[in-house]
Copies of this chain bind each other. A is one copy, B any other.
Amino acid sequence: MKKKLSISDIARSLNISVTTVSFILNGRAEEKRISEELVQRVQKYIAEVGYKPNSLARSLRTGKSNTIGLMVEDISNPFFANIARMIEDNAYKNGYKILYCSTDNDTEKTKDLIQMFQERHVDGYIIAPPDGVEEEINTLISSGSPVVLFDRNLPGVHTDYVGIDNYGSTYHAINYLIRKGYKNIAFITLYSLQSQMQERMQGYESALAEHQMNQHIKEIPYSNDPDDIIKHVSAFLSRKKEVDAVLFGTNYLAVSGLRAIYNLGLKIPSDLAVIAFDDHDVFELSNPSITAIKQPIQEISGEVINLLLKGLKSPSKLKKPESLILKTTLELRKSSK
């Protein structure tokens, strides 16, 4: 277990000053007009002894940690896991590491988490926020940290946002079902004030209203336990026999919803047509396969990290917030006739 080397050890061994070493380390040799030969010598020595700067000390000194805080609803949800993966790749490529956490859509938990990240001096935040954390996020922003929101926006928070056209997505999906002749179209969604869920609901309502059709809405409280969801969906569908099509508000509602539907012995699409919001491997391989509103995950992650890196580069005050609303696609499969 050899002793960790420090910059002064290097300087001493080479008989030069720490400043010189530091400048070379930070690629400022040219700028400081340090002789090419010295640079070579230092780099060779550093490689030889395997010296690595202590990033903690560096961070303490510079105030930058080269770390990004990623806060999602649940890292085990495939939508977020996929986004996390793409963001990771991009961040590492740019010299940033990722600290992650799952909020469970819990406002208090999220506040704690934000504080933890703050104490850790993460350089920037990527957040899919629950509602109720507007104030904390505004504090973050006004203290100069770049923040990119995604998946759901926060009213009253002035920062970069990447989302999708939720309203249009459900609006079109419902119109598709109407064209196919379904008469009683239900919307099974999360009991939530989050912007994306509200917009999805509005799209559903508008489409029905335009055709003077009845609403059948079921809002289910957020839960980590699939069985809770299954129970709610079962109860709803057993009660509402007239429902002949259902749009699920999120992918995991749909996954649990499918279980409920199979448990009830309902046949898709003859008894019930199904569309899910957010795609999932399950939907392609189910039999029948399930039509889904597909978010452009790659594009979302790309824009998110892109905006954050931009924010990291330029002082946030100079940059005015951008909002990107991306298009979804309705992936037609066999779950509707």
Using CB atoms and an 8 Å cutoff, list the residues of chain A in contact with chain B: 1, 52-57, 59-60, 65, 67, 74-78, 81-82, 84-85, 88-89, 92, 97-102, 115-116, 118-121, 142-144, 255, 258-259, 262, 280-282, 284-288
Q: Name which of A97, A143, A258, A284 has the most chain B CB atoms within 10 A of its CB.
A: A97
A76 vs B80: C-alpha distance when bound (angstroms):
8
Q: Judging by beta carbons under 8 Å apart, are A121 and B85 in contact? A: no
11 contacts between A and B (CB under 8 A): A52-B119, A54-B119, A55-B120, A75-B81, A76-B82, A77-B81, A97-B99, A258-B285, A286-B286, A287-B287, A287-B288
Q: Judging by beta carbons under 8 Å apart, are A53 and B119 in contact? A: yes
A101 partner, pick from B77, B88, B142, B280, beta carbons under 8 A? B88
CB-CB under 8 A from A280, the residues of chain B are 281
CB-CB under 8 A from A74, the residues of chain B are 85
A285 vs B281: C-alpha distance when bound (angstroms):
10
Q: Judging by beta carbons under 8 Å apart, are B65 and A75 in contact? A: no
Are A100 and B101 also in contact (CB < 8 A) when A75-B81, A285-B255 are? no
A82 vs B97: C-alpha distance when bound (angstroms):
21
Are A78 and B75 also in contact (CB < 8 A) when A52-B118, A120-B97 are? no
CB-CB under 8 A from A255, the residues of chain B are 281, 285
Q: Judging by beta carbons under 8 Å apart, are B60 and A88 in contact? A: no
Chain B nearest Cβ from A90, distance in angstroms? 12
CB-CB under 8 A from A53, the residues of chain B are 119
- Across the interface, name the chain B residue whose C-beta is closest to A284: B259
Q: Name which of A89, A119, A121, A258 has the most chain B CB atoms within 10 A of its CB.
A: A119
A55 vs B118: C-alpha distance when bound (angstroms):
10
A60 partner, pick from B54, B67, B144, beta carbons under 8 A? B54
Chain B nearest Cβ from A155, distance in angstroms? 23
Q: Judging by beta carbons under 8 Å apart, are B100 and A98 in contact? A: yes
Q: Judging by beta carbons under 8 Å apart, are A65 and B76 in contact? A: no
Q: Judging by beta carbons under 8 Å apart, are A54 and B121 in contact? A: yes
Chain B nearest Cβ from A156, distance in angstroms? 19
- Across the interface, name the chain B residue whose C-beta is closest to A144: B1
Are A88 and B115 also in contact (CB < 8 A) when A54-B60, A59-B56, A81-B81 are? no
CB-CB under 8 A from A81, the residues of chain B are 75-78, 81
CB-CB under 8 A from A119, the residues of chain B are 52-55
Q: Judging by beta carbons under 8 Å apart, are B121 and A56 in contact? A: yes
A102 vs B281: C-alpha distance when bound (angstroms):
20
Q: Judging by beta carbons under 8 Å apart, are A65 and B56 in contact? A: yes
A81 vs B102: C-alpha distance when bound (angstroms):
11
CB-CB under 8 A from A67, the residues of chain B are 99
Q: Judging by beta carbons under 8 Å apart, are B78 and A85 in contact? A: no
Q: Judging by beta carbons under 8 Å apart, are B102 and A99 in contact? A: no
A67 vs B59: C-alpha distance when bound (angstroms):
15
Chain B nearest Cβ from A144, distance in angstroms? 6
Q: Judging by beta carbons under 8 Å apart, are A85 and B92 in contact? A: no
A60 vs B121: C-alpha distance when bound (angstroms):
14
- Across the interface, name the chain B residue whose C-beta is closest to A116: B97
Q: Judging by beta carbons under 8 Å apart, are B115 and A52 in contact? A: yes
Q: Judging by beta carbons under 8 Å apart, are A84 and B76 in contact? A: yes
CB-CB under 8 A from A285, the residues of chain B are 255, 258-259, 262, 282, 285-286
